Amino acid sequence: MIVGTLRNKKGTSIHERIMTVLATWAQQGLNSLQMMRARLSG
């Protein structure tokens, strides 16, 4: 992770969204790594 991107509003917003998605998948009992790969591959 590039920490410097968290110093601006856009970077912070993106980080918050990713963390929210990961937390949601965890609560649903889903494998976050598998879900992220599926979403990024297409």
- In the prediction, which pLDDT does 11 show? 83
Of residues 42 and 41, more confidence is placed in 41
- Dihedral sign of CA atoms 32, 40, 4, 14 in order: negative
User: Over 90: is that where the pLDDT of 42 sits?
Assistant: no
- In the prediction, which pLDDT does 12 show? 85
- In the prediction, which pLDDT does 2 show? 58
Query: pLDDT, tens digit, for every residue of 7-39?
Result: 788 888 888 999 999 999 999 999 999 999 999
Note the pTM of the prediction, 2 decimals: 0.73
User: At which residue do the structure tokens 């598998």 appear?
Assistant: 34
